[in-house]
Amino acid sequence: MATFDKNLLLNYVPVYVMLPLGVVSVDNVLQDPAGIKEQLVQLRAAGVDGVMVDVWWGIIEKNGPKQYDWSAYRSLFQLVQETGLKLQAIMSFHQCGGNVGDVVTIPIPQWVLDIGESDPDIFYTNRSGTRDKEYLTNGVDNKPIFHGRTAIELYSDFMKSFRENMSDFLKSEVIIDIEVGLGPAGELRYPSYPQNQGWVFPGIGEFQCYDKYLKEDFKSAAASAGHSDWELPDDAGTYNDVPESTEFFKTNGTYLTEKGKFFLTWYSNRLLNHGDQILDEANKAFLGSKVKIAIKVSGIHWYYKAPNHAAELTAGYYNLDDRDGYRPIAKIVSRHHGILNFTCLEMRDTEQSSEAQSSPQKLVQQVLSGGWRENIEVAGENALSRYDVTAYNQILLNARPQGVNKDGPPKHRMYGVTYLRLSEDLLQQTNFDIFKKFVLKMHADQDYREDPQDYNHGIPPLKRSKPNIPADALVEATKPTPPFPWNSETDLKVDA
């Protein structure tokens, strides 16, 4: 039976599903179009609102600078359109391979890797000199070393070409969301915990700023601050250390000294500036289109309970008990009229080992609250594939932390949730039956709505970014504020 209640509809949270990483092969071929279409039809029948797909830089601009080939993705987008689903497109400027869940390998373009042969410092580098070829260091953002273009220009030109070649899908409002990749795994962070270099959970990770470009930038910043003798940290340990075994993160360690605070501010500000610059280019590229711009922030929940927050710090999130490392990111996103997409929505603190000093629930509450305080939309996704009721109920709780409001919009509501990921396991009958119930509960027990206006999600044409945010406003945003209240459990359970 069709159900429809105007007030309950204002509690509707759309659900998207990530497509397989290799849906377009490394050779730029749409894999098994008939099979994909059949799966898309199944998703649509289950009430799913749309899908998310990685648009890989390493596939599109594979053949040389500015030689873009969008043909396979056009075929895929056509299938999405035919099945009545909406589309979230990720501008994936990173390598696929080397992270949790990476089942295929798609490197960044070979001609970029070739430049790295003669100048390996274009990649993020740890203190021992190991390079990470997943993503270009933010140290080359403004260096014209890629056949005369800077890294920012590489990303900008790619997004402009995407807009030109996908203009029909933008005009027909099939594409509703452009998530801009800003680092490894598409997340705004440093590659501080690479599995392909031996990192194992819950290692603290390593700082990734020892390429010559970031070294020079740090030396310049330190000299300007009157500390030309300061160097990058040499006491922060290695990937799988625990905080207390390092001088940097131990109790009363370097991270609390003037020198440590200066470094952490510089390291996290480089990341903020990187995101700000690329979002500005994304805004220019998609100006006037009826799309939302989004970024992804990683849910680094291990050592969140430790005073040093070591794993967050190595990733570039300068977050401590007395300093909010996420609200400044939300403030940058607000400048570009963007959405902050956060991971690990499905995780509960009780599922984590005590040694990891982990608190995914408190982390989610902090990050989402910071976004809402900056008056931006927040979205999210699960970090690991889960098919169980407990995980779905946790996502539902985070999507509407104070529950459903039967008289209108809830006080807080996530803009959307993207489920990771479409697979044979998800479509297995028992799993899919539970998933369909989850979708219905996300929709506040309302039927699927084709028109996002029905649940107050109409997308106006993208406006130009607001002026640069003054440094003191970003500093102000680091002052901690308590998160908004969260219910202990969702009021619309999958298994109710």
User: What string of H, E and C letters represents the secondary structure of the chain?
Assistant: CCCCCHHHHCCCCCEEEECCCCCECCCCCECCHHHHHHHHHHHHHCCCCEEEEEEEHHHHCCCCCCCCCCHHHHHHHHHHHHCCCEEEEEEECCCECCCCCCCCCECCCHHHHHHHHHCHHHEEECCCCCEEEEEECHHHCCCCCECCECHHHHHHHHHHHHHHHCHHHHHCCCEEEEEECCCHHHECCCCCCCHHHCCCCCCCCCCCCCCHHHHHHHHHHHHHCCCCCCCCCCCCCCCCCCHHHCCCCCCCCHHHCHHHHHHHHHHHHHHHHHHHHHHHHHHHHCCCCCCEEEEEECCCCCCCCCCCCHHHHHHCCCCECCECCCHHHHHHHHHCCEEEEECCCCCCHHHCCHHHCCCHHHHHHHHHHHHHHCCCEEEEECCCCCCCHHHHHHHHHHHCCCCCCCCCCCCCCCCEEEECCCCHHHHCHHHHHHHHHHHHHHCCCCCCCCCHHHHCCCCCCCCCCCCCCCHHHHHHCCCCCCCCCCCCCCCCCCCC
Cα 168 from chain centre? 26
374 is catalytic: no
Instruction: Please state, in angstroms and rounded to a whole number, the distance separating the CA atoms of residues 496 and 485.
Output: 23
Residue of 455, 450, 359 whose CA lies nearest to 399: 455
Instruction: Please calculate the CA angle 194-183-375 and round it to the nearest 5 degrees.
Output: 125
Task: List the catalytic residue out of 61, 134, 374, 381.
Answer: 381
Task: List the catalytic residue out of 61, 134, 179, 187.
Answer: 187
Kindly list the distances between the CA atom of residue 96 and the CA atoms of 99, 107, 279, in Å, as whole numbers in the listed order: 8, 6, 22
Question: Which token pair is 197?
Answer: 């270099």
187 is catalytic: yes
**Furthest-apart CA pair in the chain: how many Å?**
72
Chain position carrying tokens 């990771």: 420
Active site residues: 187, 381
